[in-house]
Amino acid sequence: MSGVAADWNGIKSMGLEEKLPAGFALTSVEKLAGYMRKNSLWPATFGLACCAIEMMGTGASHYDLSRFGMEVFRASPRQADIMIVAGRVSQKMAPVLRQVYDQMMEPKWVISMGVCASSGGMFNNYAIVQGVDQIVPVDVYAPGCPPTPETLIHAIETLHQLIEDGEIMRRRAANNGGAGVELSSELAAHTSVTIGTK
């Protein structure tokens, strides 16, 4: 009886990795986590211009984002894990956008919807941020002016594949937890949108 107890204590002290074949459990858990993450995204809407109408159309019954587990658009950033920036970002809106992004829980992702959010579009002037990637790290770009609901769905499916493959998490780990974007003191003071990097 004492031999059985000694064997049981030895098994209890072993970790999960020693009990299962090498790499089996960890790889399976990562794949399962990626599959669950991609199918349970809750968007925080950030509709700023005409692209927001297309984003709303994508969530309506004709295109039905609920097929992708995204039917609940959240008004609170603490309940969302994907930000869809739809439209041009003004200099005054940039600190607000960054604040909403910072309040979202990790892991979080960003889709830049439309040419204005991606590069400033036709608004090449001092009042518009020339690309939202100066404010937050963007994972997927949806091109167009405005992009159609099909384009946004394609961007969402692209993001789903990146999440399931773990590509985004590997990239963030290589960059020490994100794109390395920090707010400068001017941006924090709501006076400028210059970005400092680590």
DSSP 182: E
Model pLDDT, residue 163: 82
Half-sphere exposure of 184 (CA within 13 A, CB side): 13
pLDDT in tens, 143-162: 888 888 898 889 888 888 88
Model confidence pTM above 0.85? no
Model pLDDT, residue 176: 53
CB 160 within 8 A of CB 111: no
- The burial of 46, by beta-carbon neighbours within 10 Å (0-12 exposed, 13-18 middle, 19 or more buried), is given as buried
pLDDT in tens, 128-139: 888 888 888 888
3 state SS of 46: strand
| Secondary structure of 64-121 as H, E, C letters | CHHHHCCCCCECCHHHCCEEEEECCCECCCHHHHHHHHHHCCCCCEEEEECHHHHHCC
Model pLDDT, residue 27: 58
**Architecture field, domain 41-197:** 3-Layer(aba) Sandwich (3.40)
Half-sphere exposure of 83 (CA within 13 A, CB side): 31
Report the relative pairing of strands 181-183 and 195-197 from DSSP bridges: antiparallel
Model pLDDT, residue 195: 41
Model pLDDT, residue 72: 76
Work out the number of other CB atoms within 10 angstroms of the CB of residue 85: 32
Low-confidence ranges of the chain (pLDDT < 50): 178-198
CB 94 within 8 A of CB 193: yes
Bridge partner residues of 82 (DSSP) = 43, 109
pLDDT in tens, 113-131: 988 888 888 888 888 888 8
- Residue ranges covered by each domain of the chain: 41-197
Tokens of 81: 């894990």
